[in-house]
Amino acid sequence: MKSIRIGTRGSALALAQTGRVRRALEEAAPGIASEVSVIRTRGDILSDVPLDAIGGKGVFVKDIERGLLEGSIDMAVHSLKDMQALLPEGLIIAAYLPREDPRDMIFSVQGHSLEDLPEGASVGTSSLRRRCQLRALRPDLIIRDVRGNVTTRLAKVGSGLDAVVLAAAGVRRLGLPPGVAMDAQTMLPSPGQGVIAVECRRDDAPLREILSVLDHGPTRVCAEAERAFLAALGQDCNLPAGALAVLDGETITISGMLGSPDGKTLARQTMHGASPDVGRLLARELMNRIHQGTTS
C-alpha cells in the first residue's frame, strides 16, 4: 500500500489526535508510511459565528468527508462528538480508539467548581447541551457564547468571562493544566465525547483491515450506543442532548438528557440493555417526555 493520506483539521487538538493515530498506525503496520493533509473546514473559517447558526457540529467534519469521497485523502481523524449520527453513503468508522475522560471541565481564575462559582458569574460555552444543563443547575449564571480552539477559549477566563466549560479529553490531549472535572451524570457529555474516530471509505478493504487493529471493542460498543441515541433524535438532533454509555460485562448502561428547543425543559433517564440499540430506545423515551412536558 502507498503512503496513507490522513485528513484532519488544523487545530492543535486535531493535530495532537492525528499524531496519536499515526503512532498507533506505525505500531500496527510499521512498513506503511503516512502523511497528514490539513483541511480547513467551514466551522474553522466561521469561527466567530455560533455553531447552531451554521449547521451545528457537523460543520467540522463535512469538508473532510468530502475529501474522503473524492479520494484526495484515504482516512480521516475526528473527535467523535463532532460527527453527525448518519455518515455519508460510502464511508465507515473503521476504528474507535480507547476512550479518554468523557467529562466536561470548568475553568475559572479561582479554580471554582460549578457549585462554588459566585452568583451571577459569566460562563462561556457554544454548546446547547451545556447551556441547558448549566441553566438547570445554576439558573443565576450568565451564559455567553464563546468559540475558538481550546487555548483561545481558556484565554477568555478572567478577560471577559468568569469561567468556561471545555471537554476534559481535549485539555488532557494537549497536556494543559486541568480544570475542575464535572460529574458526568450531573453534566452529561456530548455523545461520543472523549473518543477519537477514524473514518475511511467502505470499499477500501486493505485500509479497513489495517485500521481494525486500532479498534477498541468496549469503546466501540459504548460509542455505537451513544450514536444510536443521536440518530434516533432525527430532526431533533439540534436539540440540547447528552448521553454517556458504560459497558459492564455484557450490559450497556446509558444515561441521557434531552432539552426542549428553548432550553427551559430538561429530561434525564438511564436505561440498561444488551446491545447498542438501547441508545435508540432511550432517545425515544426522552423525546416522548419532552413532547409531553414531563421532566425529571
Q: How does pLDDT run across 248-284, given as a tens digit for each residue?
A: 999 999 999 999 877 778 999 999 999 999 999 999 9
pTM strictly above 0.75: yes
pLDDT band (50, 70, 90) for residue 295:
low
3-state secondary structure the chain: CCCEEEEECCCHHHHHHHHHHHHHHHHHCCCCCEEEEECCCHHHHCCCCCHHHCCHHHHHCHHHHHHHHHCCCCEEEEEHHHCCCCCCCCEEEEEECCCCCCCEEEEECCCCCCCCCCCCCEEECCCHHHHHHHHHHCCCCEEECCCCCHHHHHCCECCCECEEEEEHHHHHHCCCCCCEECCCCCCCCCCCCCCEEEEEECCCHHHHHHHHCCCCHHHHHHHHHHHHHHHHHHHHHHCCEEEEEEEECCEEEEEEEEECCCCCCEEEEEEEECCCCHHHHHHHHHHHHHHHCCCC
* Residue 253, domain CATH: 3.30.160.40
Taking Cα atoms as reference points, which of 287, 204, 209, 211 lies closest to residue 243? Answer: 287
Q: 294 pLDDT exceeds 70?
A: no
Residues 65 and 145 in one domain: no
pLDDT band (50, 70, 90) for residue 47:
low
Question: For the ranges 17-31, 36-50, 164-178, 250-264, which has the lowest average pLDDT?
Answer: 36-50
**Known active-site residue 82:** yes
In this structure, the strands spanning 91-96 and 196-201 are antiparallel
> 211 in a domain, yes or no?
yes
Percent of the chain with pLDDT over 70: 92
Q: Which of 11-20, 24-33, 232-241 has the highest mean pLDDT?
A: 11-20
> Which residues, including other chains, have CB under 8 Å from residue 70's CB and lie 6 or more apart?
none
Section 132-150 average pLDDT: 93
pLDDT band (50, 70, 90) for residue 236:
low
Residues 127 and 84 in one domain: no
Owning domain of residue 241: 217-296
Q: What is the pLDDT of residue 296?
A: 57
Angstrom CA distances, 276 to 184, 226, 232, 266, stand at 20, 8, 12, 23
Q: For residues 236 and 136, what is the distance between their CA atoms, to the nearest angstrom?
A: 20
Residue 142 one-letter amino acid = I
Section 58-65 average pLDDT: 85
Number of domains forming the structure of the chain = 3
User: Counting every residue, how long is the chain?
Assistant: 296
Grid coordinates belonging to 28: 500496527
Q: For residues 218 and 98, what is the distance between their CA atoms, to the nearest angstrom?
A: 8
In this structure, the strands spanning 163-167 and 251-259 are unpaired
Residues 121 and 237 in one domain: no
Q: For residues 214 and 203, what is the distance between their CA atoms, to the nearest angstrom?
A: 18
* Mean of per-residue pLDDT scores for the chain: 91
Q: 173 pLDDT exceeds 70?
A: yes
Residues 199 and 87 in one domain: yes
Residues 41 and 154 in one domain: no
Grid coordinates belonging to 160: 471577559
Grid coordinates belonging to 77: 481523524
Percent of the chain with pLDDT over 90: 80
Question: For the ranges 51-55, 75-79, 106-110, 204-208, which has the lowest average pLDDT?
Answer: 51-55
Residue 109's beta-bridge partner residues?
none
Q: How does pLDDT run across 182-232, given as a tens digit for each residue?
A: 999 999 999 999 999 999 999 999 999 999 999 999 999 999 999 999 999
Residues 50 and 62 in one domain: yes
Section 21-41 average pLDDT: 90
Q: What is the pLDDT of residue 92?
A: 98
Residues 132 and 3 in one domain: no
**pLDDT, greater one: 236 or 187:** 187
Q: What is the pLDDT of residue 265?
A: 86
pLDDT band (50, 70, 90) for residue 237:
low
Residues 271 and 203 in one domain: no
Residue 252's beta-bridge partner residues?
247, 273
> 21 in a domain, yes or no?
yes
Which of 82, 101, 104, 162 is catalytic? The answer is: 82
Section 127-142 average pLDDT: 95
Q: What is the pLDDT of residue 54?
A: 45
Residues 1 and 87 in one domain: yes
